[in-house]
Structure 1
């Protein structure tokens, strides 16, 4: 599925099952909540915390939830995420094409 197709599918789902989009401000709050849930799983899987009883490793599910709400916000605000992602690649390439190659922190081997 392309990003454009994902934006279309989310829009279709909202119109068929979701009644309407939540307000942009509500969706921003929901996005923050979803990022927090992703952070919790990351902290337990890759950080120093352990899973609580009943919690599960659902990293992909949490990432998909973040993406879903981000797509909702893009749809609501008229953003073409495919176009914006391409612009981001171009910006990062022109700005950072050599910067990371010359960063000694990135070339240092982990022990």
Structure 2
């Protein structure tokens, strides 16, 4: 799946099932909520916090997918070609960080 296709799929879903996009501020709040759910799972499953019984069946993949869905909504409604932006960002990070992490003593 490429990002452009994912943006189209989300837009189609919104038009067929969601009536319309929530406004940008509502989607930003939703994104924050979804990221919080990911953080909760990570903190309890992989971090030092104990995992509550009610959290043990939470699916990290589904929560990450929720984050991606809302990001795609925000990109669509603000006119962002996320594939282009991602490709540009990856190129920038590759050029900027090519040797940086290899030289980081903390990562050895």
Please report the TM-score for the alignment, with normalisation by the length of structure 1.
0.92
> Does 2:7 align with 1:14?
no
Separation in 1, partners of 2:99, 2:46: 30
CA distance in 1, matches of 2:16, 2:58: 30
Offset at 1:53?
2.7
Q: Matched residues in 2 for 1:60 and 1:50: separation?
A: 20
Unpaired stretches in structure 2, ≥5 consecutive residues = none
| Corresponding residue number in structure 2 for 1:25 | 25
**How does 1:43-62 map onto structure 2 within 5 Å?**
43-55=43-55, 56-62=57-63
CA drift of 1:15 comes to: 0.4
SS in 1 for 2:103: coil
**How many pairs does the alignment contain?**
107
Q: Give the drift of 1:94.
A: 1.5
The normalised TM-score by structure 2 is: 0.94
1:84 equivalent in structure 2:
85
Inter-partner Cα distance in structure 2 for 1:103 and 1:48: 25
Contact 1:35 1:66 in 2 (8 A): yes
Deviations 1:80-102 (A, max 9, x none): 11101110111111211111111
Match of 2:5 in 1: 5
Distance 1:79 1:36 in 2: 24
- Gap regions ≥5 residues in structure 1: none
Point out 4+ residue stretches in structure 1 off by more than 4 angstroms: none
